[in-house]
Amino acid sequence: MIKVTIDMDKCQHYGQCCFEAPDVFSLDDAGHIVYVAEVADDRRDDVESAADVCPMQAIEIS
């Protein structure tokens, strides 16, 4: 499993991650990011891409 964390002090809810891995990251009705904290290993490429495109570089993967 891959552990996903968003640093909520950095996150500005731009939602760029949602386009790369929509099954992991999404915006709720209030425009706030919600995400799945543990995802299967075969999702790594998309989760890495989501972390790459975050303008605030708020996504950590381990």
Which residues form the interface with other proteins (CB under 8 A)?
12-16, 18-19, 27-31, 48, 51-53, 55-57, 60
In whole angstroms, how close is the CB of 38 to other proteins at the nearest point? 19
Under 8 Å between Cβ of 60 and 11 = no
The kind and range of the H/E element at 48 are helix 44-53
- Distance between CA atoms of residues 47 and 59, nearest Å: 9
Q: Give the nearer residue to other proteins in terms of CB position, either 13 or 43.
A: 13
In whole angstroms, how close is the CB of 60 to other proteins at the nearest point? 8
